[in-house]
Amino acid sequence: MKKFILPLLCISFSALGQSKLRSEIDKQARAVEPKVIEWRRDFHQHPELGNQEVRTAKIVADHLRALGMEVTEQVAVTGVVGVLKGGKPGPMVALRADMDALPVTERVDLPFKSTVTTTFAGQQTGVMHACGHDSHTAILMGVAEVMAAMKDQLQGSVKFIFQPAEEGVSDVDMAGAELMVKEGVMTDVDAVFGLHIWAQIEAGKIGYRPGPTMAAVDILGIDVHGTQSHGAAPWSGVDPVVTSAQIVTGLQTILSRSVNVTENPAVVSVGAIHGGIRHNIIPEKVEMIGTIRTFGDEQQALVHRRITQIATHIAESAGARADVNITRLYPSTVNDPQLTAQMLPSLESAAGKENVILMDPMTGSEDFSFFQREKPGVFVFLGGMKPGADPLKTPSHHTPDFYLDESGFILGVKALSYLVVDYMGSKK
């Protein structure tokens, strides 16, 4: 019987330690909440596009430095990384926030509304934090303040990653996360956590999903080459317009006949078809572009293979040729199933068990996936919708009417802080 006393005592001491840390976090989070809201409003009023987050990055770097962290600036162009060394040895836990805004003209009437304008892709446009990255940056600055106040009690270190250009800069430029990984930001990290505010989830709630959570995004390009002819004599050429129409229809069978619909969804959409110039000329070439969304490497490989087979063989059967060109942008955001299960109680104690929702997979994409490909990571969704509002009538991300209820931010501060101390506690 005696043998069991010591382990039991250790467990209860450590449980006691964790609950002490959590109540300290609650206290610190309440204290920092007004600042988080103030920082967010300031960022909202001064949005900066990807790789141009100079003002934002300076505010972040000054804040981390004032908290006594080692700070590296200009990581992956405009990124900032701060390391907080805990008072006790232990793992390195990374937390990530993205800082970039979008070329969207704000329509919401707020005292801190953005009036910033720019030229983007040759067009005059407003700049707006229409995806809520302003809140991510402010929340993570809040977490930094909470963790710094408790640093002597931390059993490990925290790496604060403020990432630029999550939305990408152009179709060819590397995403901010990918470049940060290339610059070695993940090498000394044991686990990584991040969140995205979500305008369709009520403030005070957290959404999560183990395994593939957000889709991989790839750009699809198909060029169909035929032989030009008079529109009145199609038999004298090879018509790439009819061939393209067959290819678009053929692509629909990938989701209905090749993908196991009981596992994960997938999307193949053709968004633009260009070819021809006149009613009586059958053109030589038709160009199609589209988007591919898949969940997990295996499904992605299957969908890519089927697209190529369908396009090239349909073209061949018509005597035409299809060149398929797939550009990979972001891989699927995959939450490590074991780590997600391990950390679920932390989310539940931060939000209350009934406020943690298991979500459906999302066909949107996130470059947080690049961090997760290096080390186990969990990415969750934080409610940003006014409680009681109808999610279907709430303006979605990337639109001029996008709006956030700030009352949910404190939960973001608490949840990330709980994840850090609980993860560290589990590695003792």
Binding region: 131, 133, 167, 196, 398
273-278: long-range pairs with CB below 8 Å, 24+: 273/244, 273/248, 275/224, 275/240, 275/241, 275/244, 276/241, 278/231
Helices (H), 190-296: 240-253
Instruction: List the binding residues for Mn(2+).
Output: 131, 133, 167, 196, 398
Number of Cβ atoms within 10 Å of the Cβ of 269: 13
Determine if 343 is a binding residue for Zn ion (CB under 5 A): no
**To the nearest whole angstrom, how small is the minimum distance from the Cβ of residue 270 to Zn ion?**
22
Determine if 282 is a binding residue for Zn ion (CB under 5 A): no
**To the nearest whole angstrom, how small is the minimum distance from the Cβ of residue 367 to Zn ion?**
9
Under rule CB under 5 A, how many of the chain's residues touch Zn ion? Answer: 1
Determine if 97 is a binding residue for Zn ion (CB under 5 A): no
Determine if 217 is a binding residue for Zn ion (CB under 5 A): no
d(CA 43, CA 49): 12
Q: Do the Cβ atoms of 157 and 350 come closer than 8 Å?
A: no
Q: Which stretch binds Zn ion (CB under 5 A): 74-82, 129-137, 317-325, 373-381?
A: 129-137
Determine if 139 is a binding residue for Zn ion (CB under 5 A): no
The SS3 assignment for 318 reads coil
d(CA 56, CA 116): 14
Q: Which stretch binds Zn ion (CB under 5 A): 73-81, 123-131, 211-219, 420-428?
A: 123-131
71, 84, 131, 150: residue in contact with Zn ion (rule CB under 5 A) = 131
Identity of the residue, 210 or 364, whose beta carbon is nearer to Zn ion in the bound complex: 364
| Rounded-to-5 percentages of helix, strand, coil across the chain | 40, 30, 30
Q: Do the Cβ atoms of 162 and 140 come closer than 8 Å?
A: yes
Q: Which stretch binds Zn ion (CB under 5 A): 125-133, 280-288, 354-362, 415-423?
A: 125-133
The Cα-based distances of 121 to 20, 31, 103, 154, 164 in angstroms read: 52, 42, 10, 46, 19
CB neighbour list of residue 270: distance below 8 Å, 6 or more residues apart = 220, 248, 251, 288, 289, 290
d(CA 218, CA 22): 41
Determine if 177 is a binding residue for Zn ion (CB under 5 A): no
Identity of the residue, 131 or 199, whose beta carbon is nearer to Zn ion in the bound complex: 131
Please identify which of the residues 33, 287, 374, 406 carries the catalytic annotation. Answer: 406
Identity of the residue, 131 or 177, whose beta carbon is nearer to Zn ion in the bound complex: 131
Identity of the residue, 99 or 356, whose beta carbon is nearer to Zn ion in the bound complex: 99
Identify whether 406 is a catalytic site residue.
yes
| Torsions phi, psi for 140 (to 5 deg) | -70, -35
Identity of the residue, 131 or 161, whose beta carbon is nearer to Zn ion in the bound complex: 131
Identity of the residue, 50 or 283, whose beta carbon is nearer to Zn ion in the bound complex: 50
Determine if 385 is a binding residue for Zn ion (CB under 5 A): no
d(CA 14, CA 287): 62
Please identify which of the residues 106, 208, 330, 366 carries the catalytic annotation. Answer: 330
**To the nearest whole angstrom, how small is the minimum distance from the Cβ of residue 18 to Zn ion?**
31
d(CA 273, CA 325): 15
Q: Which stretch binds Zn ion (CB under 5 A): 128-136, 183-191, 276-284, 336-344?
A: 128-136
**To the nearest whole angstrom, how small is the minimum distance from the Cβ of residue 102 to Zn ion?**
7
**To the nearest whole angstrom, how small is the minimum distance from the Cβ of residue 49 to Zn ion?**
12
The SS3 assignment for 216 reads strand
Q: Which stretch binds Zn ion (CB under 5 A): 130-138, 205-213, 225-233, 249-257?
A: 130-138
Identify whether 298 is a catalytic site residue.
no
Identify the CA nearest to 92 among candidates 149, 156, 4.
156
**To the nearest whole angstrom, how small is the minimum distance from the Cβ of residue 240 to Zn ion?**
35
**To the nearest whole angstrom, how small is the minimum distance from the Cβ of residue 263 to Zn ion?**
26
Identity of the residue, 136 or 159, whose beta carbon is nearer to Zn ion in the bound complex: 136
d(CA 411, CA 314): 53
| Torsions phi, psi for 357 (to 5 deg) | -110, 135
Query: In angstroms, how far is CA 358 from the centroid of its own chain?
Result: 17
Query: In angstroms, how far is CA 331 from the centroid of its own chain?
Result: 10
Residues that bind Zn ion (CB under 5 A): 131
Q: Which residues are catalytic?
A: 330, 406
